[in-house]
Amino acid sequence: MVKKINISIVGTGLMGFQHIKAIKKSKKANLHSIVDISNNAKNISKKYNIPLYSNVSDLLNLKKTDAVIVATPNQLHEKHTLSFLKNKIPVLLEKPISDNIQSAKKIIAAANKNKTPLLIGYHRRHNSIVSKVKNIINKGKLGKIVSANVLCWLYKHKTYYKEKWRVSKGGGPLGINLVHDIDMICYLLGSIKYVQAFTSNKTRKFKVEDTAAVSLIFTSGVLCSINLSDTIVAPWSYELTAGENPVYPITDQSAYMIGGTKGSIQFPNLKFWFYKKERSWWNKLFVNKNKNKKDNNTLVNQIDHFADVVRKKVKPKVNGNDGLNSLKIFAAITKSAKTGKKVRI
């Protein structure tokens, strides 16, 4: 049997803790240690019987790990990731790659200079449902793709916003949630050429947005609208429909609709709509529901993939440039919302 990869986790908050659970389920990885400054980390260290370091230097000086996951606040991604890449330790870096473009470029340059793998934590790409949708599109089953509609409506509780970084630049739902949707829609439909957006903070009244309406034009000419809010009680978001993360109880709804000249698909529930006879709004529209189960192993799949990346068996499915791409779109959305103008990517 192949030896497991030792992984240390830096930042064991909401997401870091999900990674701990995923590593425990993975056959390819072993939890080496954690790095965190919170009291809660002490409990995690006891519970899993693993060393806890209070800073990255201690981990680097005291004991070597094969790889790390960086799941600290976005504003700390650059500092933490660079210290590992400089020591040639592969990194699975949580999304977004960083809170600004310059810093993202430094991270990518460090990975290239040190020839050290960098995987960005857009875990949805490791969901088998997403691969199925990509196949359906690539095989032309929808015909020529015309437009897409993405909803991300959810309600975040009060205590979620106790963490100050979540109400600072980059900590709102554009940086936390929408970047996932951007990464996904670019993976499925290609590169984006123009962005136009409106944002609002009228409901929560934080400095960061709580709601956004975004229009996208792809290089291919496909149009897309994304509507996002973290202050709406609703079932329509990838988070609440994919069943990837047990933190979010699942609904039977969908979040994405992709439409083409031969049919359209909703997902994650994989409903495919089409005509059997002549394509006409006067004819009966049929729906095929894919019987495959939801994939609730996405985070474990991501850890297994990371182990293969660390062993240099495969290239990262989501590399630094993918991370930079979604960050650029995020920046363009923010700019467009501020200026009221369409932004060219």
CB neighbours (10 Å) of residue 121? 25
For residues 56 and 16, what is the distance between their CA atoms, to the nearest angstrom? 15
Whole-angstrom Cα distance, residue 141 to residue 326? 27
Q: How far is the CB of 39 from ligand NAD (least distance, A)?
A: 9
Using the 8-state DSSP alphabet, how is residue 97 labeled?
S
| Shortest separation between residue 68's beta carbon and ligand NAD, angstroms | 11
Shortest Cβ distance from residue 209 to ligand NAD (Å)?
Answer: 15
Structure tokens at 243: 């069943």
Residues that bind ligand NAD (CB under 6 A): 10-16, 35-38, 71-74, 76, 94-95, 121, 123, 163, 176
CA distances from 121 to 127, 221, 295 (A): 12, 28, 17
Residue 288 DSSP SS3: strand
Residue 109 or 247 with smaller CB distance to ligand NAD: 247
In the complex with ligand NAD, the residue whose CB is nearer, 13 or 51, is: 13
14/62 with CB nearer ligand NAD: 14
- As a whole number of angstroms, the distance between CA 38 and CA 236 comes to 33
Quickly tell me which residue has 């977004």 as its tokens: 96
User: Is the CB of 10 or the CB of 258 nearer to ligand NAD?
Assistant: 10
Q: Give the residue at shortest CB distance from ligand NAD.
A: 13
φ and ψ at residue 148, rounded to 5 degrees = -140, 155
In angstroms, what is the minimal distance from the CB of 16 to ligand NAD? 6
Nearest approach in angstroms of CB 297 to ligand NAD is 15
Pick 56 or 151: Cβ nearer ligand NAD? 56
Q: Which residue has the tokens 């990838």?
A: 238
